Amino acid sequence: PQAYWIQKGIGRPGRSKIRPATKWNGSTITHLLYQQEYCGDVLNFKTYSKSYKNKKRIHNDPENWVVFQ
């Protein structure tokens, strides 16, 4: 709707103009597709803590992750 209003010259107070479409770089798309989260998989146990009292998170090795597709 906002693109239509801007095209017709209808302004709305407090609203900024929409930015022009962004051109995506091929390497950015490749990087996104290599990440399992962006391909629809659910990754659990990527981090853990040694104790529930300790707030510091430790990264888990990828072979210890649980993946749901």
What would the pLDDT profile of 22-45 be if each residue is shown by its tens digit? 788 999 999 989 888 888 889 899
User: Could you tell me the pLDDT band of residue 14, with boundaries at 50, 70 and 90?
Assistant: low
pLDDT, residue 69, reads 86
Residue 28 lies in a domain: no
Residue 67 lies in a domain: yes
Q: What is the DSSP code (8-state) at residue 64?
A: G
Can you say whether the dihedral through the CA atoms of 6, 12, 13, 15 is positive or negative? negative
**Tally of domains in the chain:** 1
Residue 21's alpha-carbon distances to 7, 11, 12, 35, 53, in angstroms, are 15, 20, 21, 24, 47
- Alpha-helical segments (H) within 9-68: 26-34
Residue 18 lies in a domain: no
Residue 52 lies in a domain: yes
Residue 69 lies in a domain: yes
pLDDT, residue 63, reads 92
Residue 66 lies in a domain: yes
Question: For 46-52, what is the mean pLDDT?
Answer: 91
Tell me the residue range of the domain where 69 lies. 41-69
Query: If you count them, how many residues does the chain have?
Result: 69
